[in-house]
Amino acid sequence: MKQNVRLSIGGMSCAGCVSAVEQALAGVEGVNAATVNLGERTALVEGSDMAVESLIQAVKKAGYDAAELGGLEDESEKAGHELAEYRLLWRRALIAGGVGAALFIGGMTGLLPSIEESRSTWIGISVITLLILIFVGGHFFKGAILSLKAGRGNMDTLIALGTGTAWIYSTLVVIWPELVPSLARHAYFDASVVIIALVSLGSALEMKARGKTSTAIKRLIGLQPDTARVIRNGKEIEIAVADIGLDETIRIRPGDRIPVDGELIEGGSHVDESMLTGEPMPVNKKKGASVYGGTVNVTGSFLMRATHIGRETALARIIDLVRRAQSSKPPIGRLADKVAAVFVPVVVLIATAAFFVWLFLGPEPSFSYAIVTAMTVLVIACPCALGLATPISIMVGIGRAAEMGILIRNGEALQRAGKITTLLLDKTGTVTEGKPSVVDLLPVDGVSSKLLLQKAASLESGSEHPVALAILTAALDDEIELLSHDQFEAVAGKGVTGRVGGKSLILGSRRLLTEKGIETSRIEKQASSYADAGKTVIYIAEENALLGVLTISDPVRDDSAEAVKKLHELGLRLVMLSGDSHESANRVAFEVGIENVIAEVLPEQKSRHVQRLQQEGEIVAMVGDGINDAPALARADVGIAIGSGTDVAIESADIALMHNSLTSVADAIGISRATVRNIWQNLFGAFFYNSLGIPVAAGVLYPAFGILLNPMVAAAAMSLSSVTVVTNALRLKRSSISMAD
C-alpha cells in the first residue's frame, strides 16, 4: 500500500544535515523517495508498507530527532516545539555572548591579567569556557560525533572543530606554555564562546524569519474551529474537533465555522465557501447538500452528518498538498544537494591545508596564525545559506500561491510553469462561466417546444454533464414533468443516446446525428445562425426522425478578456482547444482575443494535440476542468485545473486554481518566474559567499593587504548569510508578482 509520511526533524542546521537525513531515510525498507526541507525542518517520505517507527529510528540513529506529523493538531504541536527552540537559541546566545563579551572587553581594556601574571585566573577562564562549550554549545559536539560515526560531516562538525580547537590550543597555552612558541602564546577563549553565541543568534534570527514563510499554512489551519457541538445520546454537547467521529451528528448555528466535511441532514442555510472556491456569494444548502470544513455558515441553523474527518477533509487535504509542495525539490534545487554532499570534507581539507601553509610559510608567530586561520575557515564555510537557498524560496512561493487560491503540487511544477511557451485553454468552464443555460428551442413541424424540452430533459436526467444540467434546469423552471428513461449511454464528445417513453432518442451534435443517418438539412440554416452567434446547438432525434434543436449559451467570464491580455503579455502562445463547434468556439475566441482555435475535438484527441505541440519543441500547459480534460492535463508539461472542485483539483492537476478565473493562470506563471528568480539569487549569493569567504578566511589577502579575518567575524558573517537568504525569500511575500521574464 502506497504511503506518504511527514516527519518533523529536529537538530538540522545545514545542507549536510539534509543529505544525512535523506540518506538515512532512503535506507529504510519500503522507502521509494525521501525529501527533506531544511527551511521547514520536515521530511516527506514516499513509499509502500513503511513502518513509521523504523523511519524515526533511522533519523535518530543519524543523530537527529524525529516525530510523525499527522493531523492539524500535530502542526500546532510542531509550532510549539519551534517556539521553545527559538527561546532556547536566544538563551544560548545571551549566555555565551555575555561571557564572550566580558572576556573580549577584559582583554582589550587590560582588566584581565596576562597569562604570565595570573595563570590561575586563566585556568578558571578555561573551565568557564569549557562549561559554556558543554552546556550551551554541547549540541554542536554531539552532532559532530554522530556525523563522524556515520562517516560524514555537517555544520556541527565545522563549528565543533573550530571552537574545540580554539579551546584546546588556548588551554595548552595556559597550562603548558612551554609547548607553544613564545610569540604564539595567545588564548582564544573569547573566540570560542562568541562563535557559539553568534551562531545561536543567527539561528534564532533565521528561525524568526522562517516563521514568516509559513503564514499561508497558519491561515489555512486557522480556518478549522477548535470545538464543535455534536448530538450524543439525544444531548447536544461541545467537544474538540479532533474528537468528532464518522457519521456523528453536528449542530451548526449561524456564524459557526463548519468543523469537518459532511452532509446536511436537517434544516437549511447559506454557506460562505469562498475559502474553497473563491466565489464571494454564499451557496444555498438544503437537505442532502455537501458542506466542507473551514467554510462559514451565514444564516440558518442546521444539522449535518460527518462524512470526512481528520486528514480526510477537503481543508486538511489542501493543507497537505501545500505542505508536500513546500517540502519538494525542483530540479534547480538538486544543484545545491550535489555540492553539499562533498562540501564539508572539502572544507576540512582546505582548513588543514591553510594550517600547514601558515605554519611553514607564515610570519611569526606562525603556529598561532595557523590555528586562527584554520579555525576561521571552518567557521565561515558552514553551508547554512546553501542549504536554505532553494527550500526557503519554495516555501514562500508556494505559500504565496496558496494565499491567492493557487495550489501547486510540487516544486518541479512550480519551476516548469515559468518555462511554458504554449497555453491550451478549454472553452467551457475555463474561458466561459461553465454555467450554460437553454436559450432557444426550435422544434420541427408538429412538435411543441414543451415536448422537445421534455424529451431532452428526460434523457439527460441520467447525466451530470453541464449541458445536461442546463437542460434539466430549464425543464424544472417550466415545471415540465420528466418521462421515464433507460439504456442511457454517453457518446464521448458527441452527445447521448437512450430510450424515453419506450422510444429511442438521440441528443447531441450534428456529427452524431449524421453518423446515425439522420437528415438535418431542413433546419440547418437556422442552426448555423445560432452557431454564428456563439451558441452551442444540440440536435434531438426520435426513432431516427429529427425533432428539432435547442441551443445552449455559456457566457464568457467577465475577466477572461483581461486575463488573455495578461497571458499574451507573458509571451505565451494561446490556443483554444474545444469540443464545441467551430462557429461557437471561434465566436468565444474572438470575443476574448484568442487567435488560435482547434474545435470539435474529442477528449482523447486533446491529448494528441498536446503531444503534437510538445514534439514541435513547445513547453505546453493545459488549462481545463480536471475531469473531461484529464488525459490532456496528464499529458501536458503542466496541467492546470480551473474551477474543478476540491477532489479533482487536488488529485489530477499540477496546479489547481480554487478561483474560477483565468487571471489565476497568469498569477501562477508570474509566481513561478518570480520564485525561480529568487532561488537563483539565493544560490548565487550562497555560492558567492562561500567562494569569497573561504579564500579570505584562508588568508589569500594577507600578503598583499595584510587582511586576515577574526574567527568571531567569520561566525557573524556565516550567520548573516543565512538570515540574508531567508530575508530575500520573504520579498516574494511583500512584492507584487512580476509578470515579466
Q: Which three cell numbers stand for residue 22?
A: 535523506
> d(Cα 710, Cα 74) in Å, to the nearest integer?
43
DSSP helix/strand/coil, 554: coil
**From the candidates 190, 261, 272, 426, which is the catalytic residue?**
426
Query: Cα–Cα distance between 307 and 293 in angstroms, integer?
Result: 11
Give DSSP secondary structure letters for 621-649.
EEEE-SSTTHHHHHHSSEEEEES--HHHH
Q: At what angle do helices 366-380 and 334-361 cross, to 10 degrees?
A: 170
Q: What are phi and psi of 639, to 5 degrees?
A: -95, 125
Pairing of strands 422-425, 620-624: parallel
Beta carbons of 322 and 220 less than 8 angstroms apart: yes
Distance CA 362, CA 302 (A): 83
Residue 113 preceded by cis peptide, ω within 30: no
End-to-end CA separation in angstroms for the chain: 43
DSSP, res 428: I
Comparing CA positions, the residue from 43, 22, 46, 24 lying closest to residue 33 is 46
Helices (H), 65-188: 72-109, 119-135, 138-149, 155-175
Distance CA 55, CA 75 (A): 19
Task: For the beta carbon of residue 80, count every other beta carbon within 10 angstroms.
Answer: 10
261 an active-site residue? no
Pair 330, 418: CB distance under 8 Å: no
Strand partners, 499: 486, 504
Number of H helices, E strands in the chain: 26, 26
Residue 222's Cβ-count burial label (10 Å; 0-12, 13-18, 19+) is exposed
The region that residue 475 occupies, defined by phi over 0 for left and psi between -120 and 50 for alpha, beta otherwise, is: alpha
Cα separation of 538 and 546, whole Å? 11
Residues known to be catalytic: 426
